[in-house]
Structure 1
Amino acid sequence: MSLIQITDLTFAYDGSWDNVFDHASLQLDTSWRLGLVGRNGRGKTTLLRLLMGEYEYAGTISASVAFDYFPFPVSRPERDAMEVVESLLPETESWEIYRELSALEVDPEVLFRPFFSLSNGEQTKLLLAVLFLRPNRFLLLDEPTNHLDLEGRQVVSRYLSRKQGFILVSHDRAFLDGCVDHILSINKQNFDLQQGNFSSWWENKQRRDQWERAENERLRRDIARLDAAARRTAAWSDKAEAAKFGTGCGDRGFVGHRAAKVMKRAKAAENRRREAAEEKSALLKNIDQAPPLKLHPLAHPKQRLVEADRLAADYGLGPVCAPVSFSLMQGDRLALTGRNGTGKSSLLKLVCGQEIPHTGTLALASGLVVSVAPQDPSFLRGDLTCFAADSGIDETLFKTILRKLDFSRAQFEKDMAGYSAGQKKKVLLARSLCQSAHLYVWDEPLNYIDLFSRIQLEQLILEYQPTMLLVEHDRSFLDAVATRTIYLERP
């Protein structure tokens, strides 16, 4: 057993007025399969980059193993995948490569194709195999699920469950449950490290948060009772003090002694009130609040909003998926699933009115208002105020939703180009939530989105029951919100 020791770690980005980590300490075992969770912007990727030695920091990080980071760039991707693998693993036997690919359910044929021609999922699996074949390495896996379809996530989760020695950043609850044995949560004020999978950590967190809320309420009532008692005691004290010097008092010494006792009790009550207030102030600061979101979907005069008949995207080399037919009725939440490259996003774009080459027919209800949350947020630049104006949405409502999605007010002053990928996705989702529409089309809305916000979105959809067409690979989310699922198959 060897350890990764983090001591008194303090780090802030250049130009930032607040620390990402402030005197944080942590000890990790290099044999663990560690899931790293936390809200967007908390520093998950930053922690991995610090372990890689990419930033200067205060404090110490010591480890007896070398770190490898995923994802990493591949030089000369025009080479065959086997050449890429051999350049990264010059001393590895070919049978070892085939063994890892078999465990990842990758056809060995991909090794003899140009690396750039592989799907994102195939590239992800191939590079994971490379990393796990390197000796004496501790792996830092930063959201490897983002380019994996539902089946691919299940395969990779099983693969990782048979490995050891990695930190995995992921927001997919089912994926984490399948492959980790410890959870590290980056909270508002500290690290929380627990043995177990995501579900056991979440249950413990809910229990702890519930206790803190109950304790907070008890102390609030205690402070109110002590305040009332202090006011009564003050009134008695004033009355007794006046009686010492008023008329008709036979024993000023006795009255003074009684007043002193009253004052002593008042001081003790005040001390107790102060202690309770200090104890109360220490609570709730580390609880991640997830206030409920709101949505105002429109009702359409027709029940059938979308009708697809033998529809398939076709970019000139034949349909990318087997033709699919479906009707989307008001109240439906239809999820398109299938392997990468089967045209799921293309079908969404067709429904949104984009010119995509296709076969078959697609009919939309007249006057249909569609709200879109696209897959790729990388185009976002500039400030939120201009973005809201350009999108034709109410700025106050837009920023209120972002606050509920855990944006700090300081983020409102920053250029969106500097946001994390998860924060950019939240901007696109918040814009969609500001729009009243008959149909909400969301393309992989949960990519990079933290666990707390995923649960917020689940609760929103279940409460307001909007009509939706979506592509998503988070099994827990789909199980919760989708009313129907259509699996797209290769032709």
Structure 2
Amino acid sequence: MSLINVTNLTFAYEGSYDNLFENVSFQIDSDWKLGFTGRNGRGKTTLLNLLLGKHEYKGNISTNVSFEYFPFVVANQEIATLDAVGELFPDYVHWKLLRELSLLDVSEEALYRPFRTLSNGEQTKVLLATLFLKENSFLLIDEPTNHLDMTARKLVGNYLNSKSGFILVSHDRSFLDSCIDHILSINKTNIDIQKGNFSSWWENKKRQDNFELAENEKLKKDIFHLAEAAKRTGGWSNEVEKTKYGTKHSGSKADKGYIGHKAAKMMKRSKSMENRQQSAIREKSKLLKNIEDTENLKITQLCYVQSRLAELQNISIFYQDKMICKDINFRIEQGDRIVLMGKNGSGKSSILKLICGEKISYTGSFMRGSQLKLSYVPQDTSHLQGNLTDYAAKNNVNESLFKTILRKLDFSRVQFEKEISTFSSGQKKKVLIAKSLAERAHLYIWDEPLNYIDVISRVQIEEVLLEYKPTILFVEHERRFSDNIATKEVNI
């Protein structure tokens, strides 16, 4: 067991006016299985790069362990997978590699194929196996699930649960629950570490948020009542002070000493209330600092003229003369929320593209309602470029609504001025989600919409789908999201 101590860490990117981290301190045990969560753009990957020594920073990071980062980059993907492993880790022991691959359900035959011919899931597993061959290192695992189907996620979760000594960046709630014993969260104003899995952290966060909101409401009322009382007492003291000199026509001589004493006493009481008010305001300012902005999203579903929107009968799909799925049968009725399930490469994305009207080679019978308006969220975000204003205009969505949705998904106003191609992967995915939510459609088709999207935003997206109940066909490998949203399940 070794400790990783981070003390007074301060970091900002060159040209940035704001620090990404400021005087951050925490301690990690190198035996932990540490989950790492936080909203997109908060600096999760940056913190990993700081641990790796890739950036200059103020403060101190001290430890006697070495760090290894996942995913590795395989520069030449044409070479055999076994040679790729050898380039990444020349000192590996072959039987240990086979043991790790067996635990991850990867056949030995995959080692002798060119690396590029492996599926994304197989590549991920091979790189993870290579990572865990490097003993006496603390492993930094950055979002390994984005190319894993639901079955593979469960397998990799069990694999990681059998290991220790890593930081795991992931937004998949079920995956985190399956393999971590501590969680590190980047909040609005601090970094927090708790023992437990994601679910226990989430419950603690909700309790803390509710406590702070209740305290905030109580202090708001106290401040209002104290302000009103101080105002009244201050007014009374002024009125009493005036009576020291009597009224113009009274002819009476006031007891100035007594009245002055009484006025001073009331003024002192007013000042005391004012001080208590200021103290309450200061106490209030300490609250709500880490409560996330999670305003409700909205979606405008168009009502179609008939109940059935589309139907597939005995559909088989071909890619370069190779059949990738066969005998697919299902229909989409108005109000359905259908999840397509199946392993990577089983044809789920091809089915979505077929329904969207793309040219797909298929046999069987496919019917789609006439004048059906669709809203499509693809997996790929590499085509995104330009600024948000031009993107909204190009896609015929209301710019104000589009940007309002992005604000609710934790985009800062500064982000609106940036080039989309410079956004993080999670922010790019939010651009696609926001466009879809801003579109008026009969049917929403989303292909792995949650890739790279942070947990808070996932909950917001869940809530809008459950509240407005749009007709939606989607592919998503996060089990918790699919279980919460889907009314029907189609297995490919």
Alignment correspondent of 2:331? 327
Q: Would you say 1:22 and 2:28 are equivalent positions?
A: no
Alignment correspondent of 2:234? 234
Alignment correspondent of 1:206? 206
Contact 2:188–2:292 under 8 Å retained in 1: yes
Aligned positions of 1:372-411 closer than 5 A: 372-411=376-415
1:338-383 CA-partner distances (Å, limit 9, x unpaired): 1111111111111111112222221101110000111111221111
Alignment correspondent of 2:137? 137
Deviation at 1:115, TM superposition (A): 1.1
* Whole-angstrom CA distance in 1 between matches of 2:96 and 2:365: 48
Given candidates 264, 279, 283, the residue that maps to 1:279 is: 283
Aligned positions of 1:308-323 closer than 5 A: 308-323=312-327
* Whole-angstrom CA distance in 1 between matches of 2:254 and 2:112: 109
* Whole-angstrom CA distance in 2 between matches of 1:32 and 1:322: 45
Alignment correspondent of 2:57? 57
SS of 2:40's partner is: coil
* Equivalent position amino acid for 2:159 in 1: Y
Contact 1:181–1:195 under 8 Å retained in 2: yes
My pick for the range that moved more, 335-344 or 203-212, is: 335-344
Deviation at 1:453, TM superposition (A): 0.5
Q: Would you say 1:468 and 2:440 are equivalent positions?
A: no
Deviation at 1:82, TM superposition (A): 1.8
Given candidates 478, 484, 490, the residue that maps to 1:486 is: 490
* Whole-angstrom CA distance in 1 between matches of 2:277 and 2:39: 34
Contact 1:312–1:343 under 8 Å retained in 2: no
Contact 1:443–1:471 under 8 Å retained in 2: yes
Alignment correspondent of 1:166? 166
* Whole-angstrom CA distance in 2 between matches of 1:176 and 1:419: 25
Alignment correspondent of 2:74? 74
SS of 1:470's partner is: strand
* Whole-angstrom CA distance in 2 between matches of 1:328 and 1:21: 48
1:304-329 CA-partner distances (Å, limit 9, x unpaired): 11110122320133211232111111
Contact 2:8–2:59 under 8 Å retained in 1: yes
Alignment correspondent of 1:88? 88
Deviation at 1:98, TM superposition (A): 1.4
* Whole-angstrom CA distance in 1 between matches of 2:360 and 2:62: 53
Contact 1:38–1:186 under 8 Å retained in 2: yes
TM-score of the superposition, structure 2-length normalised?
0.97
Given candidates 422, 428, 432, the residue that maps to 1:424 is: 428
SS of 1:322's partner is: strand
Given candidates 262, 270, 273, the residue that maps to 1:269 is: 273
1:247-300 CA-partner distances (Å, limit 9, x unpaired): 435421111111111011111100000000111112112111211000110110
Ranges in structure 2 where 5+ consecutive residues have no aligned partner? none
* Whole-angstrom CA distance in 2 between matches of 1:445 and 1:217: 36
Aligned positions of 1:213-228 closer than 5 A: 213-228=213-228
Deviation at 1:94, TM superposition (A): 2.0
My pick for the range that moved more, 417-426 or 92-101, is: 92-101
Deviation at 1:452, TM superposition (A): 0.5
1:103-122 CA-partner distances (Å, limit 9, x unpaired): 11222221121111000000
My pick for the range that moved more, 217-226 or 232-241, is: 232-241
* Equivalent position amino acid for 1:102 in 2: S
* Whole-angstrom CA distance in 2 between matches of 1:399 and 1:265: 50
Contact 2:318–2:362 under 8 Å retained in 1: yes
* Equivalent position amino acid for 1:441 in 2: I
Alignment correspondent of 1:437? 441
* Equivalent position amino acid for 2:140 in 1: L
My pick for the range that moved more, 448-457 or 320-329, is: 320-329
1:92-149 CA-partner distances (Å, limit 9, x unpaired): 3322111111111222221121111000000000100000011211111110000000
SS of 1:176's partner is: helix
1:412-443 CA-partner distances (Å, limit 9, x unpaired): 11111111110110011000001110000001
* Whole-angstrom CA distance in 1 between matches of 2:111 and 2:191: 41
* Equivalent position amino acid for 2:451 in 1: N
* Whole-angstrom CA distance in 1 between matches of 2:438 and 2:307: 23
* Equivalent position amino acid for 1:365 in 2: G
- The count of aligned residue pairs is 488
Q: Would you say 1:448 and 2:452 are equivalent positions?
A: yes
Contact 1:319–1:359 under 8 Å retained in 2: no
Deviation at 1:241, TM superposition (A): 0.4
Alignment correspondent of 2:367? 363
Deviation at 1:482, TM superposition (A): 0.6
* Equivalent position amino acid for 2:104 in 1: L
RMSD: 1.1
1:68-104 CA-partner distances (Å, limit 9, x unpaired): 1111211322122122223333333322111111111
Contact 2:317–2:326 under 8 Å retained in 1: no
1:184-233 CA-partner distances (Å, limit 9, x unpaired): 00011100110000000000000000000000000000000001101110
* Whole-angstrom CA distance in 1 between matches of 2:201 and 2:461: 21
TM-score of the superposition, structure 1-length normalised?
0.98
Contact 2:80–2:115 under 8 Å retained in 1: yes
Ranges in structure 1 where 5+ consecutive residues have no aligned partner? none
Distance 1:249 1:31, change over 3 A: farther
Alignment correspondent of 1:155? 155
* Whole-angstrom CA distance in 2 between matches of 1:220 and 1:303: 50
My pick for the range that moved more, 280-289 or 207-216, is: 280-289
Contact 1:445–1:472 under 8 Å retained in 2: yes
